[in-house]
Amino acid sequence: MATRDTGGQQRSTRSREETEEVEASVDTEVSERTKEVTDDVDSLLDEIDGVLEENAEEFVKSYVQKGGE
């Protein structure tokens, strides 16, 4: 049995409105994900700052001279 080659690529039938809707939903998803990641990074940086401050205080206290040392 011989099969017929329809040849070439098929043309997209998506309308301009459909394309704009898809792009708008992708933009919304990207902006939401960006906000989530930014919030996560900010939270992590705040936690790191807190640990560094705490450790710095302990470090300095360990080198404070006491009495006649």
- pLDDT digits over 4-60, tens only? 656 555 555 557 777 777 677 778 888 889 999 999 999 999 998 988 888 887 777
Q: Is the pTM of this model over 0.75?
A: no
**Burial of residue 54, with CB atoms counted within 10 A of its CB: 0-12 exposed, 13-18 middle, 19 or more buried:** exposed
Helices (H), the chain: 16-62
